[in-house]
Amino acid sequence: MPPRQHFLVLTFPFQGHIAPALRLARRLLAAAPDALVTFSTTEAAHARMFPAKQPDGGGGAANEDEDGGRLEFIPFSDGTAAGYGRSGGPNAFNDYMASFHGAGPRSVAAIADALAARGRPVTRVVYTLLLPWAAAVARDRGVPSALYWIQPAAVFSIYHHYFHGHVGAVVAEHRHDPSFVVEFPGLPPQTIGDLPSFLTDSTDPSDMLHSAYITIRDLIDTLDGEGPKATVLVNTCQEMEVGALAAMGAYDVLPVGPVLPSGDESGIFKPEDDAEYMEWLDAKPANSVVYVSFGSLASMGREQLEELLLGLEESGRPYLCVIRKDVKVALAEEEAEMHGRVKNGVVVEWCDQVQVLSHAAVGCFVTHCGWNSVLESVAIGVPMVCVPRISDQRMNAQLVVHEWRVGVRAQVDGGGVLRAAEVRRCVDEVMGNSEAAAELRQMAGKWKGIVAEATGKGGSSDRNLMAFVDGASTLYLQGKGKAV
C-alpha cells in the first residue's frame, strides 16, 4: 500500500510568512482527514512559537505535535544560533540570507530523510516565497513540490513578467521616477511607485535587501525549471484577482485563499494573555473604533509616533493602537510622554488582530497593508486606511483602493512621515457620514460576502484546495514521486 499523504510545509521565519503557512497546514489537515502534515520553520522562530515548551537554554530543536499527531512541528537550521536580528547593521539581512540558503537545504533534507526512517515519508513539499531551494530538495528525492505564494497574484504576475524580460529595462531606467507608468499583462497600468519595492529599491547589490531581489529571481527560475508545470498555490481567491491570476504564466495556478485562522494560530507569537483591550472594545459603540497596526516588522521613529497619536487624538474617535514592544523599548525615553498624549484610545504591545477586526466596535483599520492584514480586513468587512511601505504593500494598497474600493490611501510627506492632519483626514474619509464613506462600507460588506462564499464549502477556493489535495495523491500513485 502507498503511504499516507504527508505534506512537508516549509516557511521563512517571519511572522507574516509563518501565519499563512500554518493556516494552510491546518486547511490541508481538514481537507484530507487521513493526511499528515509536518510544519517546519527555523529553530529560532520555532522557539518563539513554543516558548513554554523549550528546555532551559533550548534552541527550539524540540518537536511538537497537534491534532493527534497528524500535525508535527520540526524546526530546520538556518546556520545561525539566534536567527535574523534587525539590529545587526546595514548588511545584516543579506548576510542572514546567505546563511539561510546555505544551511537550510541541508537541514531540510536531513529532516525529510529522518521522517522517512520513522515511517512518515513525505509525499509533497509545500514552500513559501523565499525558499526556492525547497523545490530542489524535493526533486532530489523524487517528490513533487508546490510554491505557496503568500502575496497577491498581482505581485506574482509582476515578478513573473519582469524576470521574463517584460519592461524590466524600462523599470530599471525609471526606478527613481515614482510617477512613471508601466504596463504588465492582465493588470491595469501601474506607476513605478506602486511596483514591489524589491524591483525598484533593491536591484543594486549594495542595497540592504538585495538578497530578497535575488531570491525572488531564483524562485521564478526554479518554477520555470519544474515540469511539466510548476504548481503555485496563491493566498487569494479567483473573484478577487481575475486578471492577475490569468496572467501568472505557464504554471498550474490554484487560488486557495484567503487562508484565514481556523483556531488560535493568529497568536503564534503572543507574548502574554491580556484581553483588557477586548473589554475596552466591548464598551464602545458599533463601528466607532479606529484600529491601528503596522505589522510585525515595520519600525517607527519618534516623529512618526508623535504624528500618529496626534492625528488619532484629533480625529475625536476612540482608537486601539498597537505599538510593538521593540519599538517602545527603542523609544523608552518618550514612553511616558507618549502615554500622556493618549486620551481617547488604548495603546497595546500586541493584540489578536482577527479577534479585534471581528469586533462590532471596530469601524476602520489603519494598516501597513501587509497581505495577511489586508485579507483579514477584507474577509471581515472592515474598511482600511492604507499606509504602505515596502515589498508588496504598495501593490496591496492599489488593490484595496482601486480594485475593491474598500479603503483610502494615506500620503506621507517627503521624509516618509505620515502627518497628523493626513491621519485625521483619512480616518474621517472612511468613518464619516459622507456618501463616499457609506460606499466604502457598502463595498466592504460586499467583498466580505464574496470571500465567505469562495472559502466556504464548495466555493472556488475550497474546490481548488480539494483539487490540490487530490492531485497530490494522484501524483504519488502515478509514480511521479517516491516518498522520502
Residue 403 DSSP class: I
User: Does residue 326 register a pLDDT over 70?
Assistant: no
Buried b / exposed e over 464-477, threshold 16 CB at 10 Å, is bbeebbebbbebbe
Question: Quick one: which of 171, 149, 181 has its CA closest to 248?
Answer: 149
Predicted pLDDT at 349: 87
Q: Read off the pLDDT band of 445 (50, 70, 90).
A: very high
Q: Read off the pLDDT band of 383 (50, 70, 90).
A: very high
Catalytic-labelled residue, pool 17, 46, 210, 359? 17
Tell me what the pLDDT averaged over the chain comes to: 89
Ordered strands of the 36-40 beta sheet: 64-66, 71-73, 36-40, 6-10, 124-127, 145-149, 231-234, 252-255
Q: Read off the pLDDT band of 474 (50, 70, 90).
A: low
For residues 345-350, average pLDDT: 90
**C-alpha span between 60 and 136 (Å, rounded):** 25
User: Does residue 477 register a pLDDT over 90?
Assistant: no
Q: What is the pLDDT of residues 278-287, one digit of tens each?
A: 999 999 999 9
Long-range contact set of residues 272-280: C-beta below 8 Å, sequence gap at least 24: 272/350, 274/348, 277/320, 277/346, 277/348, 277/351, 277/356, 278/355, 278/356, 278/359, 280/320, 280/346
Predicted pLDDT at 339: 59
Q: What is the pLDDT of residues 210-263, one digit of tens each?
A: 999 999 999 999 999 998 899 999 999 999 999 999 988 789 999 999 999 875
**Pairing mode of beta strands 190-191, 181-182:** antiparallel
> Which segment, 3-7, 322-326, 422-426, is predicted with the most confidence on average?
422-426
For residues 100-107, average pLDDT: 97
- Sign of the dihedral defined by the CA atoms of residues 377, 424, 342, 295, in that order: positive
What does 342-371 look like in DSSP terms, one character per residue? -SSEEEES---HHHHHTSTTEEEEEE---H
Predicted pLDDT at 435: 96
Predicted pLDDT at 427: 97
Across 266-270, 300-304, 365-369, 412-416, least confident range: 266-270
Q: What is the pLDDT of residues 263-308, one digit of tens each?
A: 555 445 555 555 799 999 999 999 999 999 997 666 677 888 889 9
For residues 120-124, average pLDDT: 96
Predicted pLDDT at 350: 87
The terminus-to-terminus CA distance of the chain in angstroms comes to 15
The three-state secondary structure class of 321 is: strand
CB 321 within 8 A of CB 423: no
For residues 72-84, average pLDDT: 93
Question: Quick one: which of 452, 277, 441 has its CA closest to 353?
Answer: 277
Question: Quick one: which of 449, 430, 448 has its CA closest to 439?
Answer: 430
Predicted pLDDT at 473: 61
| pTM attached to this predicted model | 0.92
- Could you confirm whether 17 is annotated as catalytic? yes
User: Does residue 328 register a pLDDT over 80?
Assistant: no
Q: What is the pLDDT of residues 162-213, one digit of tens each?
A: 999 888 889 999 999 999 999 998 899 999 999 999 999 999 999 999 999 9
CB 474 within 8 A of CB 251: no
Predicted pLDDT at 480: 46
Predicted pLDDT at 58: 42
Count CB neighbours of 115 within 10 A: 20
**C-alpha span between 352 and 79 (Å, rounded):** 31
Residue 52 DSSP class: G
- Sign of the dihedral defined by the CA atoms of residues 96, 99, 103, 108, in that order: positive
Place of cell 524580460: 165
The three-state secondary structure class of 37 is: strand
Which element (helix H / strand E) includes 215? helix 210-225
Strand partners, 233: 148, 254
